[in-house]
């Protein structure tokens, strides 16, 4: 007979020798049986067939072993297929289900993973472990609302589940529910300092300062003096705008750990906010002196030296940092700023060019490179740099604004207008671009368009004093909308009462209104603040003419010419006309 499967499991039973050899004699048969005829023949029991379940589990084990072998060899798809076959044969195996679930997650087969765990069941019918697995799938699918919904359905949540709920709510932007989950976690596990700190920081974000402080006090009572706790308490005080108390906590943290990074950095930030750079420098000196933080905070210390006027220290530190990081474009940029401040413009230009060679799209370096040329009054070079800027960053509003600015200086107003229009088209909220466009349009005698551009600025920055002044002065020059012009200039002067340009504009409005005495008073105030502007003396001459002080007017016009009036021909005509009038009236010129 054929060898059957049960033979494999139970062993092979030999066939009856009598049936095999029917010709054997009776005597021989007795001998073969080992005894006389009265010897009792042994009973051979029938073979018991193994159950179908035993067979299936055995085959499942074979597929499992094969799957593990494929796993070790990195044959992921083959391993996954063998796990599937194993689970089909042994569907009740939790081990196989978890292994296949993990395989589905790794290969991104989230739908199969859901089907594997849930089948056709609703979430309510799942076990605690299955709910956690389903939540993991939803997280992988970025369906965070469904993920947290499954976890929320678990009763008596443990720490791990509460932590997961908190994290998901953070992703969803629901800080209130995230905070609640973390708080419940911390209640269950009060030794988890990281979670306690997280809860305190979230309370800070919600401006619940007293709650944050109370929590930190409780933590400190249990944990004792720790730098991290003092530092966080300092941050609470700082956000509550109590800088004195904040500094006290930072000092307490440093008493525990003299090189506590966060305490030193936070303490320095308090002083930087006060523009009190020396104590901030001391904090960063400690940080840079530490082996752990030196390289990280070196550039910050160099910048603090720069802002504190310690230019030589700043320059040297940036040079030292560049010895170790020669390809760091930001360090070249900062060193360029230092050179520019020291009026070493050639060195500054070299550093900005190095920065741009390393990072061609660094817009700050482009702006500073152009500014160096403008300070040197090398306008041709400035225009070349500006054009390189727009070529490198054609979609950057600031590049076109810079090019327009240089073109305006060169009095190429049509070109400047075109550049500024590109700037505001790229960034409609660029108030500086709109202001410069208005200025270029006004200089190009396109007054109505200039007014529209300036009004755009006032939409973006309703009380911008420079724009209020420009519009007020422009209308005063035209003799239009004088009441509105006066109101605009008064708003500007409320913000900057000692601004000479604003006072001049205000005086000119009074001049146009025919109130010459008021015009004279405010122009005198303007000259006290800006004594070298030829336009102011030109205005003074016009006002003095109306006040019948012709000699004073002539003197004012001459001063305007001496200061380099841009409209010298018109000023000379005024002088000539006044001299003729004076001679006719017999007035002696002084």
pLDDT digits (tens, 9 = 90+) for 264-286: 999 999 999 999 999 999 999 99
pTM to 2 decimals? 0.68
Q: How many CB atoms lie within 10 A of CB 117?
A: 23
User: What average pLDDT does this structure show over 198-217?
Assistant: 93
* Angle of helix 379-392 versus helix 397-409 axis, rounded to 10: 160
Return the minimum-mean-pLDDT range out of 40-54, 276-290, 318-332, 375-389. Answer: 40-54
Structural domain includes residue 539: yes
As a three-state string, the secondary structure of 319-380 is HHHHHHCCCCHHHHHHHHHHHHHCCCHHHHHHHHHHHHHHCCCCHHHHHHHHHHHHHCCCHH
**pLDDT beyond 70 at 2:** no
User: What average pLDDT does this structure show over 70-99?
Assistant: 83
Q: Which two tokens stand for residue 527?
A: 């000259």
Q: How many CB atoms lie within 10 A of CB 377?
A: 9
As a three-state string, the secondary structure of 109-138 is CHHHHHHHHHCCCCHHHCCHHHHHHHHHHH
| Residue 17 pLDDT | 43
Distance CA 583, CA 130 (A): 108
Q: How far apart are the first and last CA of the chain?
A: 146
CB 375 within 8 A of CB 345: yes
| Residue 97 pLDDT | 81
Please tell me the total count of domains within the chain: 1
Structural domain includes residue 354: no
Reported confidence tier of residue 293, pLDDT bands at 50, 70, 90: low
Structural domain includes residue 581: yes
Could you give the C-alpha distances from 327 to 337, 347, 366, in angstroms and in order?
Answer: 17, 17, 18
**pLDDT beyond 90 at 213:** yes
Structural domain includes residue 171: no
Spatial CB neighbours of 39, under 8 Å, sequence gap ≥ 6:
30, 33
Classify the phi-psi angles of 586: left when phi > 0, otherwise alpha if psi is within -120 to 50, otherwise beta: left
User: What average pLDDT does this structure show over 445-465?
Assistant: 95
> Nearest Cα to 294, choosing from 272, 315, 270, 264?
264
User: What average pLDDT does this structure show over 518-529?
Assistant: 95
Structural domain includes residue 117: no
- Across the chain, mean pLDDT equals 88
User: What average pLDDT does this structure show over 301-314?
Assistant: 95
Q: Give tens-digit pLDDT for 422-432.
A: 999 999 999 99
Helix (H, G, I), strand (E, B) or coil at 101: helix
**pLDDT beyond 90 at 41:** no
Q: Which two tokens stand for residue 223?
A: 């944990």
- Helix boundaries (H) for 444-499: 447-460, 465-478, 482-495
Q: Which domain holds residue 540?
A: 532-590
Reported confidence tier of residue 587, pLDDT bands at 50, 70, 90: low
Give me the DSSP letters along 121-185. Answer: --GGGS-HHHHHHHHHHHHHTT-HHHHHHHHHTSSS--HHHHHHHHHHHHHHT-HHHHHHHHHHH
Structural domain includes residue 446: no
Residue owning tokens 């474009």: 329
**pLDDT beyond 80 at 48:** no
Q: Give tens-digit pLDDT for 241-269.
A: 999 999 999 999 999 999 999 999 999 99
Structural domain includes residue 300: no
Spatial CB neighbours of 491, under 8 Å, sequence gap ≥ 6:
463, 465, 468
| Residue 589 pLDDT | 47
Distance CA 424, CA 389 (A): 17
| Residue 118 pLDDT | 84
**pLDDT beyond 50 at 406:** yes
Distance CA 467, CA 487 (A): 13
Structural domain includes residue 51: no
Distance CA 325, CA 321 (A): 6
As a whole-number percent, the residues of the chain with pLDDT over 70 amount to 90
As a whole-number percent, the residues of the chain with pLDDT over 90 amount to 72
> Nearest Cα to 123, choosing from 145, 86, 152?
152
> Nearest Cα to 333, choosing from 313, 307, 312, 359?
359
Reported confidence tier of residue 588, pLDDT bands at 50, 70, 90: low
CB 417 within 8 A of CB 440: yes
């Amino acid at each position: 007979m054929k060898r059957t499967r049960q033979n494999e499991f139970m062993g092979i039973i030999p066939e009856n020798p009598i049936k095999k050899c029917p010709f054997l004699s009776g005597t021989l048969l007795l001998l073969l049986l080992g005894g006389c005829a009265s010897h009792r023949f042994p009973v051979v029991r029938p073979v018991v067939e193994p159950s179908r379940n035993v067979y299936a589990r055995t085959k499942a084990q074979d597929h499992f072993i094969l799957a593990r072998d494929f796993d070790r060899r990195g044959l992921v798809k083959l391993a996954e297929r063998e796990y599937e076959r194993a689970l089909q044969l042994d569907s009740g195996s939790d081990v196989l289900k978890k292994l296949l679930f993990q395989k589905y997650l790794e290969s991104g087969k989230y739908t199969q993973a859901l089907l594997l765990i849930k089948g056709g069941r609703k979430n309510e019918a799942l076990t605690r472990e299955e709910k956690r697995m389903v939540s993991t799938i939803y997280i992988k699918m970025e369906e965070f609302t469904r993920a947290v919904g499954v976890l929320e359905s678990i009763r008596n949540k443990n720490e791990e589940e509460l932590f997961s709920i908190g994290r998901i709510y953070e992703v969803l932007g629901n800080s209130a529910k995230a905070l609640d989950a973390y708080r419940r976690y911390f209640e269950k596990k009060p030794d988890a300092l990281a979670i306690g700190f997280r809860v305190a920081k979230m309370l800070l974000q919600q401006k619940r300062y007293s709650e944050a402080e109370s929590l930190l006090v409780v933590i400190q009572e249990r944990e004792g003096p720790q730098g991290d706790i003092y530092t966080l308490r300092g941050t609470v005080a700082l956000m509550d705008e109590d800088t004195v108390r904040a500094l006290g906590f930072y000092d307490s943290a440093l008493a525990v750990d003299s090189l506590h990074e966060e305490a030193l950095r936070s303490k320095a930030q308090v002083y930087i906010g006060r523009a009190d750079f020396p104590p901030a420098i001391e904090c960063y000196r400690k940080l840079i002196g530490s082996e752990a933080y030196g390289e990280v905070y070196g550039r910050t210390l160099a910048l603090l030296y720069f802002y504190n006027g310690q230019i030589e220290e700043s320059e040297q530190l940036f040079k030292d940092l560049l010895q170790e990081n020669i390809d760091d474009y930001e360090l070249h940029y900062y060193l360029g700023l230092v050179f520019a401040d020291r009026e070493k413009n050639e060195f500054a230009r070299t550093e900005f060019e190095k920065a741009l060679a390393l990072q061609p799209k660094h817009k700050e370096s482009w702006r500073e490179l152009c500014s160096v040329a403008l300070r040197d009054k090398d306008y041709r070079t400035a225009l070349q740099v500006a054009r390189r800027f727009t070529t490198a960053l054609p979609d950057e509003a600031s590049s076109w604004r810079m090019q327009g600015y240089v073109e305006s200086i060169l009095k190429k107003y049509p070109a400047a207008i075109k550049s500024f229009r590109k700037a505001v088209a790229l960034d409609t909220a660029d108030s500086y671009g709109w202001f410069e466009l208005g200025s270029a349009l006004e200089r190009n005698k396109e007054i109505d368009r200039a007014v529209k551009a300036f009004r755009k600025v006032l939409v973006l920055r309703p009380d911008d004093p420079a724009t209020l002044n420009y519009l007020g002065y422009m209308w005063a020059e035209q003799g239009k909308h004088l009441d509105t012009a006066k109101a605009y200039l008064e708003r500007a002067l409320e913000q900057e009462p000692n601004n000479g340009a604003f006072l001049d504009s205000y005086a000119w409005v009074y001049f146009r209104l025919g109130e010459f005495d008021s015009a004279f008073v405010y122009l005198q105030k303007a000259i006290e603040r800006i004594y070298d502007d030829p336009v102011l003396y030109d205005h003074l001459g016009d006002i003095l003419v109306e006040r019948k002080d012709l000699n004073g007017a002539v003197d004012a016009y001459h001063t305007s010419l001496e200061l380099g009036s841009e409209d010298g021909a018109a000023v000379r005509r005024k002088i000539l006309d006044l001299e003729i009038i004076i001679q006719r009236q017999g007035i002696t010129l002084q």
